[in-house]
Amino acid sequence: MTTNRPLHLAAALRRPGYLISWWPWRALAYAGTTVPVAGALALGLGVVVAPAVAVLNAARQGRPVELPVVVFLAVAGLALAAVAPLVSAPVAGFERWRLGVVDSRPLPARRPFSGDVVGSLAARYTDAAAWREVAYACWLGTVVPVAYWTFAVLALLDLTLLASPWLVDGTDDVIVMWTTVDTPREAAPYAVGAALVLPVLWYLAGLLVAGQATVARRLLAGPPAEPAALREVTRSRARLVDAYEAERRRIERDVHDGAQPRLTSLTVQLGLARLDVPDDSPAARPLAVAHEQAKELMVTLRQIAQGIRPQQLTELGLAGAARQLAGEAAIGVEVRADLPRPVPEPVETTAYYVVSEALANVASHADAARAEVRLTQTDRHLVVEVEDDGRGGADPARGTGLTGLADRVAAADGRLLLASPAGGPTLLRVELPCRP
């Protein structure tokens, strides 16, 4: 279920071939496009930040603070806070697009524009996502430039050392580090060292950008969904299920109201006839056989009318049938059943199929060594949980039998929840309503 190609920079950094892959260049492209955006934001923020820093310094050193400066700061600060949610909107839009350079994972959609300008503007001030975008813009205009400067200084230093033999050679310049060099021969070791540091810098640039992209993703996409949180699998094809259910009920009704009573009546008549036919009559035996066959047919018809119900379920009950399914599985499956109250038959049937399908899924997709089936009851529900220690990443969208299962559960008015982070474990939880 997982691909072998990393989807984002942070994942690519952990791969051995990072330095010779395209990823550093993508990081560089991202960094290069960051500079104008962060620069513009830094200038805008500088209008407020620079005087504010000056005022703070003055206050710290006990120098008097000019009143106009304070007034300007207050007004500018308020104005900035007022326009920030509006300014941050186009910035965030552009940044979301730019994030694709180093992170191909889709971002959750933003609030769509409803066509109501006033309402949309008002929403920018009340929406948590909008203020997160403001925070992102502030961060991009302050922290990011500082980090870039720091890295640029390091990179420049390294390049200077690398070029030092030529620099020394061509001029009377002296490279001052912790020592002075004035001949190429003296400079050579530094150049070699600088050359060795190059890949480290190359990697460090990737780390810097990956950190930046992680913060961007976190602020632009909102808090990440808990990877192991149970997501409800949508009731796909609900209409189809309804149609199927209606059809099934129609057939059941036809059998129940049409065929079954007539067959019962026939059996009664045969039974009455048998009473009046003496045992030694040649007709007695065929009549008895006919009677028995009619009775068997009644049972068959009843099972058909009720929907196909696995025989083992009828004979062993839900817990017993689940244990039997577990016993048939290729991997070790443990069943824990706690069912103090009786479960209605249709619910039992659905639960049985859930266990059956889930174990089949585990066998074919999960690559698991162990699985556990838990059957419990709450006040109103029968809860079926199937957990495996496989590789996870089960995705209902890929149609791994999960959608069919969701349909079956939906038909019983139940809910199907799934937690399957990449790397496992996978937990499937089905809640089926039971009348108390």
Partner 1 sequence: MPPMTRVVLAEDEVLLREGLVALLGRFGFEVVAAVGSAPALRDAVEAHRPDLLVTDIRMPPRHRDDGLREAVALRGGRPGLAVVVLSQYVQSEYASALLDSGDGRRVGYLLKDRVADVAEFAGTLRRVVDGGTAIDPDVVRHLLHRPRDPLAALTARERTVLALVAEGHSNAAIAARLHVTEAAVGKHVGNILAKLDLPPSDDTNRRVLAVLAFLRGTPS
According to DSSP, residue 290 is labeled: H
Instruction: List the end-to-end C-alpha distance of the chain, in Å, as a whole number.
Output: 40
Q: Where are the beta strands (DSSP E) in 104-255?
A: 175-176, 180-181, 231-232
Burial class (CB in 10 A: 0-12, 13-18, 19+), 12: buried
The minimum distance between CB 308 and partner 1, in angstroms, equals 14
Among 155, 204, 284, 305, binds partner 1 (CB under 8 A): 305
* Span interacting with partner 1, options 11-19, 335-343, 408-416, 425-433, rule CB under 8 A: 335-343
Among positive and negative, which fits the CA dihedral 260, 261, 266, 269?
Answer: positive
Q: Is 291 in the site for partner 1 (CB under 8 A)?
A: yes
Find the binder of partner 1 among 316, 329, 363, 417 (CB under 8 A): 316
Bridge partners, 103 (sequence order): 8
Cβ distance 134 to 41 under 8 Å?
no
Site string for partner 1, 253-272 (x = CB under 8 A): ---xx--xxx-xx-xxxxxx
Should residue 298 be labelled a site residue for partner 1 when binding is judged by CB under 8 A?
yes
Closest CA to 349 of 254, 243, 430, 233: 430
CB under 8 A: which stretch of 28-36, 57-65, 313-321, 358-366 binds partner 1? 313-321
Beta bridge partners of 387: 372, 427
Residue written as token pair 């996978």: 426
Among 152, 338, 413, 433, binds partner 1 (CB under 8 A): 338
Q: Judged by CB under 8 A, which stretch of 68-76, 194-202, 206-214, 299-307 contacts partner 1?
A: 299-307
Looking at the Cβ atoms of 15 and 250, the one nearer to partner 1 is 250
| Given 345, 367, 372, 395, the residue binding partner 1 (CB under 8 A) | 345
Q: How far apart are CA 335 and CA 325, in angstroms?
A: 10
Residue 325, interface with partner 1 (CB under 8 A)?
A: no
Residues that bind partner 1 (CB under 8 A): 256-257, 260-262, 264-265, 267-272, 274-275, 291, 294-295, 298-299, 302, 305-306, 315-320, 337-342, 344-345, 435
